[in-house]
Chains A and B, each alone.
Chain A
């Protein structure tokens, strides 16, 4: 199975900061990488699919990049409502896998 490793596990940043979350795959997944946001008590929602495509309705401060085994999710200017847990997911393999999550808190 493809293992997905996110870093950091958690971070705390101030509103307006630029935040970057990294996701590494244990093997080449090309650009089959998705990012989800989950807020407390809610189901996840997709932010970015296929590495860099922004889901409809998602603010443009979110962006994704990468290919192969290394990927990043960037929030260009952090807002209070971005406090959540972020998960990467590979969809290259039929055996889908998620990263362990990155908790983003606002200082």
Chain B
């Protein structure tokens, strides 16, 4: 059974850093395309970042240069390092696995971890 469990969220001051983790089970993170998607309170879904099985990484413009997606294959875990955090980064952050192959849709989501950026 596929499971995605996010952790690492919390209250952080503007300008601070936080690292989110997504521990996966039931599949191998390194063999799949993995996304971070966020949702600000009461707002819609916003795609944040993706890492492909081949290692390529991409970021949405609002987080480019501040956030870094990575994975630890030995721990089967996905990370999101978030630096220079802003109030507008406040959101529930979901880890999400795309289906394998060439269909490119998200088939599994975690439950999310809440990041609150506030002074």
Chain A residues lying within 8 Å of B94, measured Cβ to Cβ, are 43
> Are A32 and B112 closer than 8 Å at their CB atoms?
no
> Are B105 and A46 closer than 8 Å at their CB atoms?
yes
Chain B residues lying within 8 Å of A97, measured Cβ to Cβ, are 47, 60
Tell yes or no: B58 within 8 A of A by CB: yes
Binds B, one of A17-25, A70-78, A86-94: A86-94
Tell yes or no: B68 within 8 A of A by CB: no
**CA A89 to CA B44, docked complex, whole Å:** 12
> Are B103 and A98 closer than 8 Å at their CB atoms?
no
Chain A residues lying within 8 Å of B106, measured Cβ to Cβ, are 34, 36, 44, 46, 89
Chain A residues lying within 8 Å of B69, measured Cβ to Cβ, are none
Chain B residues lying within 8 Å of A91, measured Cβ to Cβ, are 104-105
**CA A99 to CA B46, docked complex, whole Å:** 9
Tell yes or no: B11 within 8 A of A by CB: no
> Are A43 and B44 closer than 8 Å at their CB atoms?
no
Contact of A50 among B35, B37, B56, B105 (CB under 8 A): B105
**CA A45 to CA B110, docked complex, whole Å:** 11
Chain B residues lying within 8 Å of A94, measured Cβ to Cβ, are 50, 56, 58
**Further contacts, 4 of them, CB under 8 A, given A85-B44, A101-B45:** A43-B109, A46-B105, A55-B107, A97-B60
10 tightest CB-CB pairs across the interface, nearest first?
Answer: A91-B104, A43-B109, A49-B105, A101-B44, A96-B47, A34-B105, A98-B45, A94-B58, A100-B44, A46-B105
